[in-house]
Amino acid sequence: MKIAIIGAKGMLGRELLCLLKGAHPKVAVDAYSHHQLDITKPSHEIKKIIGNVDIIYNCAAYTKVDLAESEKDDAFKVNEYGAKMLAEVALGIDAKLVHISTDFVFDGCFDKPIDIATEPNPLSVYGLSKLAGEKKIIESGCKYLIVRTSWLYGAGGKNFVDTIYDKAKVGEDLRVVNDQIGRLTYTEDLAEALVALVDCDAKGVFHAANQGIVTWYDVAAFILDFLKSSSMLEPVLTSEYPTPAKRPSYSVLDISKTEMMIDRKMPLWQDSLTKYLQRKG
Ligand SMILES: NC(=O)c1ccc[n+]([C@@H]2O[C@H](COP(=O)([O-])OP(=O)(O)OC[C@H]3O[C@@H](n4cnc5c(N)ncnc54)[C@H](OP(=O)(O)O)[C@@H]3O)[C@@H](O)[C@H]2O)c1
């Protein structure tokens, strides 16, 4: 079995590489950073680089949610056109494309976990570009597994958990949004779920995230408590903290299809966050 990981220097890509490298002697893993493989190049150039593989994990994306509002073409180039190029490659070599998408394809106007069958309605350029990428893959005719996730954190990437951790360590006071609800996701748990889904030969669209429903304020409070930080933490409303990109207020993905497929519950967010914070030292 030959595997290619694209976007391997990103937060999820590096975790997936860690998990797959050396996982099985019969599995060969090639990993490509942005520098080594640009997914906005024509598909025949991408094919020349990766050769014949059985599975392509696409962890590459334009992920600057707020900047995307003013860099629409750049976001679409990577998230829509890049996804299309990888789908063309996958179709040409009969590989399965494992593609990561986002809760931001939904508008957040819900009061119960968001089922796979729910009609997307992105609020932001980033969300629109990721949905456009999903559509290109589905239309391409390639074998695909699209996994939407949310509120990702892990080693080696810019994320909310690290930001709060750094500020709390030096006792900086914090104001954190308490009216956006979602599921936090540790890259290690997501990487394991992706590989388990592939092992089960899952096809189509899935949602994967940690168990438990939180606000950003809950996550910050947990980190402060873990660190026994002297920082003051104040809950604020999204309206008091305007950002260029609009975020969904209720972003809880229904992860039951994934849990049924892999035959286990996703880890609880508190357990995974504790593990991550302990590793940070
Ligand atoms: N982070 C979250 O909270 C979150 C939530 C839901 C879904 N997701 C999705 O999860 C996936 C992984 O996210 P992440 O947080 O790991 O992202 P990340 O840390 O920003 O990594 C993305 C990687 O893609 C690379 N990249 C950008 N443009 C590229 C191109 N044209 N060709 C090849 N590589 C390119 C980046 O390289 P450079 O840095 O060198 O540009 C970076 O290494 C993405 O699909 C994202 O949309 C993320």
Return the best residue to mutate from 6, 12, 17 for the ligand 1 pocket (most ligand atoms within 8 A of CB): 12
Q: How far is the CA of 212 from the centre of ligand 1 (A)?
A: 24
**pLDDT reported for residue 254:** 98
**pLDDT reported for residue 229:** 95
Would residue 144 count as lying in a domain?
Answer: yes
157 Cβ closer than 6 Å to some ligand 1 atom: yes
The pLDDT of 78-89, averaged and rounded, is 98
Would residue 99 count as lying in a domain?
Answer: yes
Q: What is the pLDDT of residues 198-245, one digit of tens each?
A: 999 999 999 999 999 999 999 999 999 999 999 999 999 999 988 999
Q: Which domain holds residue 32?
A: 2-158+184-211+252-267
Would residue 229 count as lying in a domain?
Answer: no
Confidence of residue 111 (pLDDT cuts 50, 70, 90): very high
Would residue 233 count as lying in a domain?
Answer: no
Whole-number Å distance between alpha carbons of 278 and 165: 12
**pLDDT reported for residue 103:** 98
- Is residue 130 within 8 Å of residue 105, measured between CB atoms? yes
Q: What is the pLDDT of residues 112-132, one digit of tens each?
A: 999 999 999 999 999 999 999
271 Cβ closer than 6 Å to some ligand 1 atom: no
Structure tokens at 124: 């932001």
Amino acid at 221: A
**pLDDT reported for residue 189:** 98
Q: What is the pLDDT of residues 18-45, one digit of tens each?
A: 999 977 778 899 999 999 999 999 999 9
- Is residue 89 within 8 Å of residue 123, measured between CB atoms? no
Q: Residue 157 above 90 pLDDT?
A: no
124 Cβ closer than 6 Å to some ligand 1 atom: no
Q: Residue of the nearest CA to atom 40 in ligand 1?
A: 34
Active-site annotation holder among 32, 57, 62, 126: 126
Q: How far is the CA of 60 from the centre of ligand 1 (A)?
A: 4
Q: What is the pTM of this model?
A: 0.96
Average predicted confidence (pLDDT) for the chain: 97
9 Cβ closer than 6 Å to some ligand 1 atom: yes
- Index of the ligand 1 atom closest to the CA of residue 104: 6
Confidence of residue 281 (pLDDT cuts 50, 70, 90): confident
Q: How far is the CA of 216 from the centre of ligand 1 (A)?
A: 21
Would residue 80 count as lying in a domain?
Answer: yes
Q: How many domains does the chain have?
A: 1
**pLDDT reported for residue 241:** 86
Question: What is the percentage of the chain residues whose pLDDT exceeds 70?
Answer: 100
Residues 242, 222, 207, 138, CA torsion sign: positive
**pLDDT reported for residue 26:** 84
34 Cβ closer than 6 Å to some ligand 1 atom: yes
164 Cβ closer than 6 Å to some ligand 1 atom: no
**pLDDT reported for residue 106:** 98
**pLDDT reported for residue 210:** 98
Would residue 178 count as lying in a domain?
Answer: no
Q: Residue 140 above 90 pLDDT?
A: yes
Structure tokens at 181: 């609800």
Q: How far is the CA of 158 from the centre of ligand 1 (A)?
A: 10
Whether 81 is catalytic is no
Would residue 227 count as lying in a domain?
Answer: no
189: region left, alpha or beta (phi > 0 left; psi from -120 to 50 alpha)? alpha
Whole-number Å distance between alpha carbons of 213 and 180: 10
Q: How far is the CA of 206 from the centre of ligand 1 (A)?
A: 19
Would residue 278 count as lying in a domain?
Answer: no
Residues 208, 214, 217, 221, CA torsion sign: negative
Pairing of strands 143-149, 233-236: unpaired
CATH code where residue 188 lies: 3.40.50.720
Q: What is the pLDDT of residues 232-250, one digit of tens each?
A: 999 999 999 889 999 999 9
60 Cβ closer than 6 Å to some ligand 1 atom: yes
259 Cβ closer than 6 Å to some ligand 1 atom: no
Q: How far is the CA of 231 from the centre of ligand 1 (A)?
A: 31
